[in-house]
Every structure is written in structure tokens, then in C-alpha cells.
Chain A
Amino acid sequence: MTLDLSFYSWDVIQAFVLKGFAFSVQLTIVAMIGGIVLGTMLALMRLSGVKVLEIPATIYVNGMRSIPLVMVILWFFLLMPFVLGRPIGAELSAYVTFTLFEAAYYSEIMRAGIQSISRGQVYAGQAIGLSYGQNMRFVILPQAFRNMLPVLLTQTIILFQDTSLVYAIGAYDLLKGFEVAGKNYGRPIESYLAAAIVYFVICFALSYVVKRLQKKIAIIR
């Protein structure tokens, strides 16, 4: 058979693909910001040395990381109407799911980042009279975040790829956009191929940027 990608005119892209692309990007950004904030909190809980904080955070992180993402997506989609008392859309469910799920992965990165800061930095902060919070806020976290920036961004590329799994609950993302366009024009095969190319170009470009960044940071340190 011959492949014909020519039906992907700007009108078709605008009508079907852009909406899905916008959702995929928004979902990635929301889950990244929410996940990093929540993940940093989880990391601080795990490193706090206080059992009441440490144990729940550890269970949460290890639990999330041992379940397939598809199952987590299904779980949230099933449970959220129970908790909220009303049905909730696939898109909204995806935002909550990905934020909470990615937090577990970001927290492992932040934990490694915090642990990579030398003890001397902590002592120096204490010596000039910073409280625990101030020490974290002004000394430890900025350095941890900076050291871990390439890893955090790599995780975000994985997150962007993982957003395609909202397929399980039928949310309209980039992949769905291509699929619907393909169905409407009777060209499903070309559509999957086009989706693969678009995902590849985006992820390849982003990982190239991360590699450059990594080199830059490595030289300064």
C-alpha cells in the first residue's frame, strides 16, 4: 500500500490536532509544576527524620511507583466521582491523576538532589543562624534544584510521553487528535505514523536541549 500524508492540510490540523496538542501540553505543564511542588514536599517529609511524616510519604511514593500508570489513571477516574459526589470529566481527572502520580517520581529526584548537597552547606546555614525552613529555602533547595534540573526535565519528557495514556479514559489529547482526524478521513495508518513523527520530533528536540543544558551546568560546577 502507499502512504499518503497529504490530507494533513493546515485546516485538518487546526480542526483536530491542535486541540489535542494544547491539552497534552497543558497537562504536561500542570503536572510538572504540581508534581515538582508536591514532590519536593514529599522529599522533605521523607528526609525530615520525623516518623509521622516519613512513613506516609514513603508508602505514598513507593506505592505510586509500583503500580502501572494505566491502572492509576483508571483508579482516579473511578474513584473521583465517589469522593466528589458528582461525575468528573476525563480531562479534569487526568490533571489530578498526573499531578499526584508524577509527584512520586519528582520526589525521588528531589530527594537525591537534596542528599547530594554536602553537609558543610547545612552546617554553614545553621552557623549563620538560619532556621530549618530558611536553610532549606535559601541554601539547600536552590542548589538541589539546580543540580537536578536536567533530571527533572528528562522526567518531564517522559511525562509528556506518558500523557498519551489518557487514551484509557478517552480524554482528547495529541494522540486522540490524530486518531480522530484519521478516522474522519479514512486514513488511520497515516495518522498513527504522523502522531509518531510529531511525538518523536518534540521529544528528540527537548532531550537535545536537556543534553546541552547538562553540559553547561557541568562546566560551571
Chain B
Amino acid sequence: MRGYQWDWQFFLTDTGAGQTYLQWMLSAWGWTLSVAACAWVVALTFGALIGTLRTVPNRGAQFFGNAWVELFRNIPLLVQIFLWYHVIPAIFPVMKSLPPFLLVVLALGLFTSARVAEQVRAGIQSLPRGQMMAGSAMGLTLPQTYRYVILPMAFRIVLPPLTSEAMNIIKNSAVAFAVSIAELALFAQQVQEETSRGIETYLAVTTLYIISALVVNRILAYVERSVRVPGYVGGGK
């Protein structure tokens, strides 16, 4: 490594497409964050739904929830992205018109939804059984008990473990390079080949990933603090 000629200025040179490498990298960062953010919305929506289904006293619903989690957990993310990108549009021609960005968001979001569902299920099951019984004793129907008693508590309890999933989704969004989404990992590979300034490029990209993870961590730590349940582990007074 000694004698390596550092050249950070190449970031300010033109790529040949009317922008500098720095501008290209920032736009790639934007793609990474957009993929992660949109996939997070998908993951939270489906994760909350499936996680709740798995606790409902109904065999069919439980089976569906379990099948969902096993399906999305036991196939590598890269293979799932290929499935959404190559296989599903071939089987359902309607999907052909969807932009690759959306397919990757679905792939990453549903992959993560299985993990979110696990956390949500664990959160609901960590509640004392008395909560559910108190709900029925008051004459609430099952959906009402979930809506007003179980879920408001469960969501506040599962938030801390979800922070690490939110940070994982940023890291996992790097797999989108495989279907040519112009995000950071693809940027790193392309610029390394194009300019042979691989070390500087990788350092910059790695730093951006770490910054993104730290920012998400801080934001969610704040949210955690403001919604935590008094009297629970880690909860305030």
C-alpha cells in the first residue's frame, strides 16, 4: 500500500456526461436512500400486517403468515431481486411496464417485511395475556381489541428492534446494483473500472453508507425515546 498516489481531485473532473464524479456520487446516494426509504414503507406495511396475522386465533391466518415469513426469509435477497426483475414480469405481463426501481423496492421491501413481521409477532406475544382478556371482558370485539389495546402497545414495544432493521435495509439496498439501479454500490463498481481510482471511490462510498446508517440510527433513537412505554424494559418513568 505504501507509495499509493492519492488523487481526490478526480471527483471534480467531468465524467464525460456533463457532470462531475462528485455529482454522480451524490445522485447515487439519492438512489440508495430512495430505494431504502420506499422499501422501508413496504416492509413496515406488510410486516405489521403479517406479524399481526400470525397472532390472530385463526389457523388459516396463522398459516398464511408463517408461509409468508418462511418464503421471504429462505431465499437470498439477490435471488429475490432477480425473481422480481426477470421472472415475475415474464409470468405476469402486466408487470412488464413497471420501472426497475419499483420492482427492486418491492423485492427489498417484502424481503424485509418477513423480518419486521417476526419482530411485530414477538412484540404482540410479549404482552401479558391479561391485556387481550381485559379487552374481551370490556365487550370489545377481536378487531377492536387489536385496534385499541394490543397494537398501540405492541408497536411501541417493537420499535427498538426495528431500528436495526431500518439500518439493515440501507445496507441491503446495495444489492440493487445487480439489476443496474444507479445506487452507490453500482457507482463504486463503475467508477472503479472507469477511473482506476478505486480506493478513493470505495472510501467515499463507504463513508456515505456509514453516515446514512448513523443518521437513521439517531432519528429512530429520538422516535424511540418519544414513544417508549413507561414501566417497560428501557422505558422511562
Contact = CB atoms under 8 A, between A and B. Distances in A.
A binds B: yes
Interface of A: 1, 3, 66-71, 74-75, 78-79, 82-83, 161-162, 164-165, 167-168, 175, 188-189, 192-193, 195-196, 199-200, 203-204, 207
B185 A189 contact: no
Given A168-B177, A189-B86, A162 B202 contact: no
30 contacts: A67-B171, A67-B209, A68-B172, A68-B174, A68-B185, A70-B174, A70-B177, A71-B185, A71-B188, A71-B202, A71-B205, A71-B206, A71-B209, A78-B192, A79-B1, A82-B4, A83-B1, A164-B76, A165-B78, A188-B86, A192-B83, A193-B83, A193-B87, A195-B82, A196-B80, A199-B76, A200-B71, A203-B73, A203-B74, A207-B74
Q: Is the interface of A mostly helix, strand, loop or mixed?
A: helix
A89 B73 CA distance: 31
Contacts of A79: 1, 199
Interface of B: 1, 4, 70-71, 73-80, 82-83, 86-87, 90-91, 167, 170-175, 177-178, 185, 188-189, 192, 198-199, 202, 205-206, 209-210, 213
Contact of B86 (A165, A168, A192): A192
Given A68-B185, A189-B90, A199 B79 contact: yes
A200 B74 contact: yes
B76 A68 contact: no
Q: Is the interface of B mostly helix, strand, loop or mixed?
A: helix
Nearest to A163: B76
A73 to B, nearest CB: 10
Nearest to B175: A70
Contacts of A193: 83, 87
Given A189-B90, A199-B75, A200-B71, A66 B210 contact: yes
A68 B168 CA distance: 8
Contacts of B173: 68
B87 A74 contact: no
Given A66-B210, A192-B83, 11 more contacts: A66-B213, A67-B210, A71-B185, A71-B188, A164-B79, A175-B76, A196-B75, A196-B87, A200-B74, A203-B74, A207-B70
B90 A200 contact: no
